[in-house]
Chain A
Amino acid sequence: MAVISYIDAVTQALREEMQRDKRVFVLGEDVGVRGGVFRVTQGFYEEFGEQRVIDTPLSEAAIAGVSVGAAAYGLRPVAEIQFAEYIMPAVNQIVNEAAKMRYRSNGDWNCPLVIRAPYGGGVRGALYHSQCVEAMFCNIPGLKVVTPSTPYDAKGLLKAAIRDADPVLFFEHKRCYRLIKGEVPDSDYIVPIGKSDIKRQGEDLTVISYGLTLHFALEAAEKLSQEGYSAHILDLRTLYPLDKESIVEAARRTGKVLIIHEDNKEGGVGAEVAAVLAEECLFELDAPIKRLCGPDVPAIPYSLPMEKFFMLNPDKVYQAMKELAQL
């Protein structure tokens, strides 16, 4: 099995799906000749032609809205929004149109589109190239929200998203793009949407996370294990709809839960995870549910010290895990 980067896994999934199914096409800003600003679609323009690798006008509502029409017609558009926060002009199309197409037509129409967007900080991207926007899409029934943390999951989940009959927002942590490497089969495989994954087995505390912070937790868990505490780590992978059963099972396993995400705390994905646990297994827990998240400020500042203050890191995560383990 080849070891490849997270971004290459995204590219591989996309290329294989375009080779497999002629209905799949990509559209977005700079995805054609330039191959995307992060180079996810590098070489696609040459391989698949300008009809299937479409450089669009700088126009996010149109990117999403045209994709809605194409998906309803029966094609499989994969739209790229260059940075996650640029999805805001497209929110009407995503929330009012794509997510409601099946429901409002009583199942007559559906909208199998994928919108990919790089998100997250730690790249000196300042307010408008660093945001985590996932939480605002996690109370929209009709949508699915996915974010992989490993190359293996990136490939399998993107393939699942493209084959899904409903709209999927596929958020790629941009700090993971070249930082995270892992084994990825050359073969065709799917990672099912809606299923979380245990990334580490442990007995003393449960960490629930996704994206970049999942890796911080894995690193911290190694250090903690040398001090005699073993962490059980659940990667949510799909943020909406949540894999509630596995969340509850992972919490029951240790009785102590720490939820970690880069996105700010209030109203974040962690709040819903905590609510699920409170409803399902509160009296089986040995400690209050803890959350370690970004601060509740509008977004990440450009200044390096301020960015570092905002971002979590393995050390901050280690401290929080240790504190809970020792309770």
Chain B
Amino acid sequence: MNKTGNGQVKNRHQALDLSDQQILEMYQNMVLARKVDERMWILNRAGKIPFLVSCQGHEAAQVGAAYALDRTKDFLCPYYRDMGMAIVFGMTAKELMLSAFARAGDPNSGGRQMPGHYGSKRLNILSGSSVVSSQVPHGVGIALSGRMQGEKLVVLTAFGDGGSNQGEFHEAANFAGVHKLPVIFLCENNKYAISVPFSKQAACESIADRAKGYGFPGISVDGNDPLEVYKVTKEAADRARRGEGPTLIEAVVYRLVPHSSDDDDRTYRSREEVEEARKKDPLVTFSTYLKDVGILDERKEKEIHDRMLMEVDEATEYAENAPDSAPQDALKHVYAE
């Protein structure tokens, strides 16, 4: 048994071919996503940004999954919570804040879309809308194209448990199954579609069960554990690259805060339930793992948090002072110019 650190916990990341440095980077990305998100809440409550939709509680699933991909050629069709994923693929705090302030320099949309609508050609992230699961068939289309062009690329498309009820998810999954396309369908099941609990959304036990109907594997995984999510996503990506078709992954997570800045989750779930979930906050549990295996200590943890906070401070200041688009730029980019 491979024991390090305090000797209580097995090193699980070595078996996944992840170096200490890599999992520290994963942790750092999770911390950055959390801190950007937290800052957006403050900015919203201070009246400085009109809206945000939160990733808190999903960071491990997002970072773990994105980390399993090849950022030089794979594609993301994410949904509006996937800040952690966007960060892994190269989006910076500054860029996220430009989007929060709807500034001209926002690389996602030039200030046209609400924050959370990730998109960047440079980063292989396809622009998405707010209509849940609309992005899922796009992922299938990119996978089909990649195969037609002889590229060994994989597409990861993510959505929530609510989104998994949309016809477009089912149509896309069926299409990908028939054509054995290199797609990973990642459902971040936080058990609520805004206020509607999972029990009122689906009669199956796990979203992963749905894969059977489309003829490919479905796996349910603890979404609070970035290493588990990494592991199953890596296996799915390897399968996809071998031409064996899609995989559906359900990452079971919990949304630690309201759906968005306009939501009040006290109207539909108890504080006890949220407090219970906070005990499994992936930032806390992953930090514990890193300490247990001896690659993080209090000092280093503080250093990472301080550094990420400074990055968020700088990003906030930069974005707050960045110029808006010219009003008449609203007329641009309707058609090719």
The answer to whether B175 touches A109 (Cβ under 8 A) is no
- Give chain B's interface residues, CB within 8 Å of chain A: 75, 77, 106-113, 117, 119-121, 126-127, 129, 131, 134, 136-146, 148-149, 167-168, 171-172, 174-175, 178-179, 332-337
Q: How far is the CB of B113 from chain A (nearest CB, A)?
A: 5
- Binary contact readout A160-186 vs B (1 if CB under 8 angstroms, 0 otherwise): 000011100000000000000000000
The answer to whether B334 touches A103 (Cβ under 8 A) is yes
Q: How far is the CB of A80 from chain B (nearest CB, A)?
A: 15
The answer to whether B145 touches A75 (Cβ under 8 A) is yes
If A65-B172, A69-B144 touch, does A102 touch B137 (CB 8 Å cutoff)? no
Query: Could you say which residues of chain B place their CB within 8 Å of the CB of A105?
Result: 108-109, 119, 121, 127, 333
Q: How far is the CB of B32 from chain A (nearest CB, A)?
A: 23
User: When chains A and B are docked, how far (Å) is the Cα of A260 from the Cα of B117?
Assistant: 43
The answer to whether B131 touches A70 (Cβ under 8 A) is no
User: When chains A and B are docked, how far (Å) is the Cα of A52 from the Cα of B108?
Assistant: 32
The answer to whether B172 touches A52 (Cβ under 8 A) is no
Pick from A62, A75, A107, A164: contact of B137, CB under 8 Å: A62
Q: Which of A77-124 contact B (CB under 8 A)?
A: 77, 89, 92-93, 96-97, 100-110
Would you list 21 pairs from A and B whose C-beta atoms are within 8 A, ordered by A residue?
A51-B148, A57-B175, A59-B174, A62-B168, A62-B171, A69-B144, A70-B141, A70-B142, A72-B126, A73-B141, A73-B146, A89-B167, A92-B134, A93-B137, A96-B131, A101-B127, A103-B333, A105-B119, A105-B333, A108-B127, A166-B336
Query: Could you say which residues of chain A place their CB within 8 Å of the CB of B134?
Result: 65, 92-93, 96-97
Q: Is the CB of A131 closer than 8 A to any CB of chain B?
A: no
If A62-B168, A92-B168 touch, does A104 touch B117 (CB 8 Å cutoff)? yes
Pick from B112, B140, B141, B172: contact of A106, CB under 8 Å: B112
Q: Given A62-B168, A100-B129, A104-B112, 20 other A-B contacts at CB below 8 A?
A: A54-B144, A64-B137, A65-B136, A65-B171, A66-B138, A66-B175, A69-B141, A70-B145, A71-B141, A72-B138, A72-B141, A73-B146, A77-B141, A92-B134, A93-B134, A104-B129, A105-B108, A106-B109, A106-B112, A107-B337
Pick from B77, B129, B168, B336: contact of A102, CB under 8 Å: B336
Query: Could you say which residues of chain B place their CB within 8 Å of the CB of A72?
Result: 126-127, 138, 141-142
* A-B residue pairs, 3 tightest by C-beta: A69-B141, A65-B137, A106-B110
Pick from B107, B121, B144: contact of A66, CB under 8 Å: B144
Q: How far is the CB of A31 from chain B (nearest CB, A)?
A: 14
Q: How far is the CB of A88 from chain B (nearest CB, A)?
A: 12
Q: Is the CB of A267 closer than 8 A to any CB of chain B?
A: no
User: When chains A and B are docked, how far (Å) is the Cα of A97 from the Cα of B332?
Assistant: 17
Query: Could you say which residues of chain B place their CB within 8 Å of the CB of A59?
Result: 171, 174-175
Query: Could you say which residues of chain A place their CB within 8 Å of the CB of B110?
Result: 106-107
User: When chains A and B are docked, how far (Å) is the Cα of A317 from the Cα of B26?
Assistant: 71
If A66-B137, A69-B142 touch, does A106 touch B333 (CB 8 Å cutoff)? yes
Q: Count how many chain A residues have C-beta atoms less than 8 Å from C-beta atoms of the other chain.
A: 44
Q: How far is the CB of A49 from chain B (nearest CB, A)?
A: 10
Query: Could you say which residues of chain A place their CB within 8 Å of the CB of B131?
Result: 92, 96-97
User: When chains A and B are docked, how far (Å) is the Cα of A141 from the Cα of B120?
Assistant: 22
Q: Is the CB of A25 closer than 8 A to any CB of chain B?
A: yes
- Give chain A's interface residues, CB within 8 Å of chain B: 25, 51-52, 54, 56-57, 59, 61-62, 64-75, 77, 89, 92-93, 96-97, 100-110, 141-142, 144, 164-166
Query: Could you say which residues of chain B place their CB within 8 Å of the CB of A70?
Result: 141-142, 144-145
Query: Could you say which residues of chain A place their CB within 8 Å of the CB of B141?
Result: 65-73, 77
Query: Could you say which residues of chain B place their CB within 8 Å of the CB of A73?
Result: 75, 141-142, 145-146
The answer to whether B144 touches A62 (Cβ under 8 A) is no
The answer to whether B127 touches A107 (Cβ under 8 A) is no
The answer to whether B172 touches A66 (Cβ under 8 A) is yes
If A61-B167, A73-B142, A105-B119 touch, does A68 touch B334 (CB 8 Å cutoff)? no
The answer to whether A69 touches B145 (Cβ under 8 A) is yes
Q: How far is the CB of B130 from chain A (nearest CB, A)?
A: 9
Query: Of all chain A residues, which has the CB nearest B175?
Result: A62
Query: Could you say which residues of chain B place their CB within 8 Å of the CB of A96?
Result: 129, 131, 134
User: When chains A and B are docked, how far (Å) is the Cα of A54 from the Cα of B144?
Assistant: 11
User: When chains A and B are docked, how far (Å) is the Cα of A142 from the Cα of B112?
Assistant: 15
Residue of B106, B108, B171, B175 with most chain A CB atoms under a 10 A cut-off = B171
Query: Of all chain A residues, which has the CB nearest B149?
Result: A75
Q: How far is the CB of B100 from chain A (nearest CB, A)?
A: 16
Query: Could you say which residues of chain B place their CB within 8 Å of the CB of A107?
Result: 110, 332-333, 337
Query: Could you say which residues of chain A place their CB within 8 Å of the CB of B117?
Result: 104
User: When chains A and B are docked, how far (Å) is the Cα of A68 from the Cα of B136?
Assistant: 11
The answer to whether A62 touches B172 (Cβ under 8 A) is yes
The answer to whether B137 touches A108 (Cβ under 8 A) is no
Pick from A66, A74, A108: contact of B119, CB under 8 Å: A108
User: When chains A and B are docked, how far (Å) is the Cα of A75 from the Cα of B144?
Assistant: 10
The answer to whether A57 touches B178 (Cβ under 8 A) is yes
Q: How far is the CB of B73 from chain A (nearest CB, A)?
A: 12
Residue of A65, A66, A92 with most chain B CB atoms under a 10 A cut-off = A66
If A72-B126, A102-B335, A104-B113 touch, does A61 touch B139 (CB 8 Å cutoff)? no
User: When chains A and B are docked, how far (Å) is the Cα of A217 from the Cα of B127?
Assistant: 45
User: When chains A and B are docked, how far (Å) is the Cα of A69 from the Cα of B179?
Assistant: 15
Residue of A25, A71, A103, A164 with most chain B CB atoms under a 10 A cut-off = A103
The answer to whether B334 touches A141 (Cβ under 8 A) is yes
Q: How far is the CB of B183 from chain A (nearest CB, A)?
A: 10
Query: Could you say which residues of chain A place their CB within 8 Å of the CB of B335?
Result: 102, 142, 144, 165-166
The answer to whether A165 touches B140 (Cβ under 8 A) is no
Q: How far is the CB of A301 from chain B (nearest CB, A)?
A: 29
Q: How far is the CB of B156 from chain A (nearest CB, A)?
A: 13
Query: Of all chain B residues, which has the CB nearest A107?
Result: B333
The answer to whether B174 touches A57 (Cβ under 8 A) is yes
User: When chains A and B are docked, how far (Å) is the Cα of A165 from the Cα of B337?
Assistant: 10
The answer to whether B148 touches A165 (Cβ under 8 A) is no
User: When chains A and B are docked, how far (Å) is the Cα of A109 from the Cα of B122?
Assistant: 10
Query: Could you say which residues of chain B place their CB within 8 Å of the CB of A61?
Result: 137, 167-168, 171
